[in-house]
Amino acid sequence: MQKKRSAFTLIEVMVSVMIISVVIMALLKMYANNTHIFTSLKKQIITNEYSSFLISNANYGFEDKHLDLYKLLDTFDVESDLRRKLKSQKVELRYEVLRSIDLSEQDDGEEEGQGNSGLVLEIGRDVLKNKNFSVALMRLQIK
């Protein structure tokens, strides 16, 4: 009669350790990728929130200024903690005219008084820049 085997061989143990280590490495890689993705998404969300302050505030946007984000919050109802945090964040607001279209030149012999006389469209780009983020917005201004 043969005795029953009561233990694993060395090869079986080594193979099982290798399989477990490969699985653990794959899980760590997934965790690192997810952490990187969520961090970049958080930065994008914050940048979008800051750009919405500029979009909704009609007092700023068509000039070059240095200001803090607190000044862009005049029309928003936000918590005082957020206001204090944004007061310390200085931003640079730059406006660049990309194209100016004079519509009075586009009149094709229309009767006097019915044309677009004196109407000028100005297409520009606002850049809201900080040490942590930068966002560019296209603007259309009718003069």
- What is the predicted pLDDT for the residue at 107? 58
Instruction: Look at residue 1 and tell me if it is in a domain.
Output: no
Instruction: Look at residue 40 and tell me if it is in a domain.
Output: yes
Kindly report the pTM of this predicted structure: 0.57
What is the per-residue DSSP string for 45-92?
Answer: HHHHHHHHHHHH-TTSSSS-EEEEGGGGGTT----HHHHHHHHT-EEE
Instruction: Look at residue 66 and tell me if it is in a domain.
Output: yes
Question: What's the rounded Cα separation, in Å, for the pair 141 and 139?
Answer: 6
Question: The tokens of 59 are what?
Answer: 């007092």
Question: What's the rounded Cα separation, in Å, for the pair 95 and 87?
Answer: 22
Residues 63 and 97 sit within 8 Å (Cβ to Cβ): no
Query: What residue numbers bound the domain in which 51 lies?
Result: 10-142
**In tens digits, what is the pLDDT along the chain, a chain of 143 residues?**
566 777 889 999 999 999 999 999 999 999 999 999 999 999 889 888 878 877 777 777 777 788 777 777 766 777 888 778 887 788 888 888 899 888 877 655 555 555 556 788 888 888 888 888 888 888 888 88
C-alpha Rg value of the chain to the nearest Å: 30
DSSP state of 32: H
Q: Which residues of 84-123 are buried (b: 16+ CB within 10 A; e: fewer)?
A: eebeeeebebebeeeeeeeeeeeeeeeeeeeeeeeeeebe
Instruction: Look at residue 82 and tell me if it is in a domain.
Output: yes
Count of domains observed in the chain: 1
Question: What's the rounded Cα separation, in Å, for the pair 70 and 73?
Answer: 5
- What is the predicted pLDDT for the residue at 12? 92
Instruction: Look at residue 4 and tell me if it is in a domain.
Output: no
Q: Taking the CA of residue 140 as centre, how many other CA atoms within 13 Å lie in the half-sphere pointing to its CB?
A: 3
Instruction: Look at residue 75 and tell me if it is in a domain.
Output: yes
